[in-house]
Every structure is written in C-alpha cells, then in structure tokens.
Amino acid sequence: MYDAILFLHVASALGYFLVHGAFASVSFALNRETEPRRIEALESAMDRAGPWSLGSLLTIVASGIALMVMGNWWRDGWTWLSLLILIVIGVVMVLFGGVHLGLRLGTEEMPAEGERWHRTVQWGLRLGNRIPMFLAVTGLTALGLILWLMMFKPF
Amino acid sequence: MYQVILYLHVAGALGFFLFHGATASANFGLKREGGATQAELLIRTRELGSAGAFVSMMVMLISGIVLGFMGRWWGDVWIWVSIALILIIGAIMGGSGRNYFDRVSYAVDPDKYKAPKDKKDDPEPPTEEDLAVELAKGRPVMLTVTGIAALALFLWLMMFKPF
C-alpha cells in the first residue's frame, strides 16, 4: 500500500510540473506583449491549467501526508522542513507569480494601500520583467531542495 | 553515488515535464486560437521551453543509462520495456505533435520555418486558409492522454521493477 501511495505521490508531482510549465512559459511570454489580442491568445494557452494544477497539488500534499503517517516519517525533521519550503514557495508564487500574471492579464487588481500584502506585492512588482526569472530560479531551487530532502532524508 | 545519479535522474524528469508543459499548453492554445499573429506567438512560447526540455531529457537519458550499469539492471526485462516505450512514445509525439508544430510554423512564416516534405515543391506560399486547415489538425487531448498513460507505465516500471 505504501508503494502505491508513493507511486501516486511521484506521478502527481510529474503531472503538476507538466501543468505548471504552462504558467511558467506564459509568464515569460507575457513580458514582451502589450496587444490585448495576443495577450488573450496566451491566456487561452493556460486557461484550462488552473484546475489540473490545483488537483495535482492537492494529490501531492494528501499523498505526502499519508506517506508521512504510514512511514512514521512525521518524527523526522526533513518532512517538516519540506512542508515549510512548500508553504513558503507557495506564498512566493501566489504573491509574485499569481499577481504578476493576474495584473498582466487584467484578471487581478493591485491590493490597495493599507490592504494585506500591498507592500509585498509592490516590492515584487519592482522586479518588473524580471519576475518570471526570479520565480523560475526560486522555484527550481526549492524543487532541488525538496527533492534532496525526500530522497536523502538527511535528518 | 547511485543515489546522487538517481537524484539527477528524477530532477531531470521533473525538469523535462516542466519545460514540456510549454509545448502542451501551446498545443491546446493553437487549437482554440485562429489567426497567424496568435499562432506565431504560441509557437514562440513553445520554443521558450524546447531547449530546456531537450537538456533535461538528455540529463534523464544519460543518468538512466548510468543507473542501468550501476544497478546492473540491463539483465532485467523492465528496463528494455521502458526503452521500447521511450521509442514508441517518441515516434508518436514526433509524428503527430512535432509534425503539427512544423506544419503550423511553416504556414505562419514560410521564410523563417522549413517547409514540410509535401510542400517543398509547392511554388505558392501558404495562405490564411492553409493555416486554418493546419491549425484544425491539432490533437492536443489525444497527445496529452497518450503522454500521461506512458508516464504512468514508465513510473510503474521504474518504481516496481516487476520483471
């Protein structure tokens, strides 16, 4: 049973990365676009990715928690550090990536002054066209770290 | 050492899927978006991921071959079934997916992209109608379902080494 859940965990991680590639590529491509019709074309390339992305992410987390319990890994530091990295990277991606995409596509509004996350989002927007690269580097670093923790279980 | 190469192998696979997502999303977008401008943009979006997908595929393949030697897996059937699967899925993706992108790319910009074999001797440049015909030939759902089924099979073979 443990191996079956592990299979689900790895399969959903691969699926998540496949779907996430849509957001990443569109994010990079949007940097050069100003014409609404072309921006719409990019939006159509990723408009079905949202539910699949969320579904596979939830499968990763749910199967990961099941594995933690089944393998008694919850006593180890590496599982909690992995979860922490996942949460931090999730917040970074939503605040900078989600808002960047949303503002460029016109589906999100900048949080008003005094609203939660206003200063953080504003700080992120200072990166301008470098946001996709910043997110790619941050995301790949987090992936490398989480994979290392999962495979080597160092502490 | 085996674990380090395995780490590279898994990281290469994750990277490959991430970059391949650019191709998959462009394929879905092309099917829905008519017009040369949009198609050209989606082709460029796909090209963004192509180099990364190639590099990570090479990392995955080379580390896989090294693991085959280090783990003495070459005597097992599962590794040969995996290789056969790679060749089959590569032929399907190349024959249907890449061929589709090549034909659409040529219909969008015949000066920049190579003509497909059956169009090489055609003196007339492609028209808007030709582009619409090529765009309609896209089969993103079929390719995605085939790819995901192959992924599940690969993963099962790699993780369970059943024979």
Query: Quick one: average pLDDT of A84-104?
Result: 82
Q: Tokens 């890994």, residue?
A: A73
pLDDT of A108: 67
pLDDT (tens digit per residue) in B71-90 = 888 989 999 999 999 899 88
Average pLDDT taken over every residue of chain A: 82
Rounded CA separation B14/B1 (Å): 20
pLDDT of A85: 93
Mutate one of B16, B18, B60 to test the A interface: name it (highest A CB count within 10 A). B18
B157 token code pair: 């073979």
Closest chain B residue to A25, measured at CA? B22
- Reading phi first (left if > 0) and then psi (alpha if -120 to 50, else beta), residue A72 is in left
pLDDT of A45: 67
A71 token code pair: 């393998």
Distances (CA, A) of B141 to B25, B138, B144: 11, 9, 5
Q: Give the one of B3, B18, B46 whose C-beta lies nearest to A20's C-beta.
A: B18
Query: Quick one: average pLDDT of A10-18?
Result: 89
pLDDT of A7: 92
User: Chain A contact for B19, CB < 8 A?
Assistant: yes
List of chain A residues whose C-beta atoms are within 8 Å of the C-beta of residue B41: 29, 33, 38, 41-42
Helices (H), A31-98: 36-46, 49-70, 77-92
pTM of the complete model:
0.81
List of chain B residues whose C-beta atoms are within 8 Å of the C-beta of residue A44: 28-29, 32-33
Q: What is the ipTM of this complex?
A: 0.80
Residue ranges of the domains in chain A?
A: 2-152
pLDDT (tens digit per residue) in A96-146 = 777 777 776 766 666 777 776 677 777 767 777 778 888 889 988 998 999
List of chain B residues whose C-beta atoms are within 8 Å of the C-beta of residue A67: none
Rounded to the nearest 5°, which phi and psi values hold at A52?
A: -65, -40
Look at A143 and B29; give whichever has higher pLDDT: A143
Measured between CA atoms, how close is A85 to chain B, in angstroms? Answer: 17
